Amino acid sequence: MAKILVTDGMDKGAVEELKNKGFEVTEKFFEPEELGENLKSFDAVVVRSKTKVREPIIDKALEGGKLKLIIRGGVGVDNIDVQYAKSKGITVRNTPNASSASVAELAIGHMFAVSRFIHTANITMRDEKWEKKKYKGVEIAGKTLGLIGFGRIAKETAKKAEALGMKVLYNNRSGKVEGFDKYEYCTLEDILKKSDYVSLHIPFVKEKGAIIGEKELEIMKDGAFLINCARGGVVDEKALLDALNSGKLAGAAIDVFEKEPTENMELVRHPKVSVTPHIGASTVEAQKRIGTEIVSIITEFFK
């Protein structure tokens, strides 16, 4: 039966199900310089965001003549050289449906945090500081949320934001989406100009670089908030820091970074920033759904 390597962890129930189906499953993380060599003896590898599967790793793995399938447990596949893998006959799959609700909830949670100083007060209170007068926040009800990208996660975010009384605008690279007329389709520039909160829901494309940089931040409303629970690199972190320091933005919420683990402590420690360590899909429910999807993909592929 096929041998499966799980490098970044997976729901235990899903691992057991694979084993019960006869698959040989190894759960172990390998550093990049070791991964390719070890992949020589596996038919499939399951990764999350920590493991990067780049061209040299793929080439080394193929020396074993076994690797046929790479699965990303999550949505984005920018940590895998997808086209190169496909050109070598390796199938690349992800689990786009499983974590949508969890990431959307985190985006909304971050919006509350930066709007009501939850991120800051949670720290200062522990330092025995009662700074009530400092924390005059804003309500999100009645505000405008602009979504850049309108895939599964953005749609979930829109639904939750609407329920909270927000007006929702969206931009999508393929144009207006049928069946969502209750939300207003806008150009990227109009999203930036009109939104009190801008939330990113797009992949990182190395060739395009940051989608939100100095120019885009300048277009945004004075006192707006930027939310990024999508991918690191889609926001220029230096430009974001400048916008926060100048007062152009009232705050930002960040779950993903240009480099992970991030070394940008100036951004992490900024009083206007709510931060989390790439935990969008880190819920019990999402991990169970991801595990279920992975089992289905592997079972179907090797049947």
Residue 113 and residue 46 share a domain: no
Q: Which of 48, 93, 278, 289 is catalytic?
A: 278
pLDDT per residue of the chain (303 residues) written in tens, 0 to 9: 899 999 999 999 999 999 999 999 999 999 999 999 999 999 999 999 899 999 999 999 999 999 999 999 998 898 999 999 999 999 999 998 899 999 999 999 999 999 999 999 999 999 999 999 999 999 999 999 999 999 999 999 999 999 999 999 999 999 999 999 999 999 999 999 999 999 999 999 888 999 999 999 999 999 999 999 999 999 999 999 999 999 999 999 999 999 999 999 999 999 999 999 999 999 999 999 999 999 999 999 998
Residue 182's Cβ-count burial label (10 Å; 0-12, 13-18, 19+) is: exposed
Q: Residue 139 belongs to a domain with what CATH number?
A: 3.40.50.720
Residue 60 and residue 131 share a domain: no
Q: Is 201 a catalytic residue?
A: no
Residue 92 and residue 125 share a domain: no
Q: Is 278 a catalytic residue?
A: yes
Residue 240 and residue 296 share a domain: no
Residue 255 and residue 156 share a domain: yes
Residue 158 and residue 138 share a domain: yes
Residue 144 and residue 270 share a domain: yes
Tokens of 227: 């939310």
Residue 122 and residue 186 share a domain: yes
Q: Which of 72, 110, 119, 231 is catalytic?
A: 231
Residue 36: give the domain boundaries: 3-96+283-301
Q: Which of 33, 260, 263, 266 is catalytic?
A: 260
Q: Is 54 a catalytic residue?
A: no
Residue 229 and residue 162 share a domain: yes
Residue 205 and residue 119 share a domain: yes
Q: How many domains, the chain?
A: 2
Residue 123 and residue 75 share a domain: no
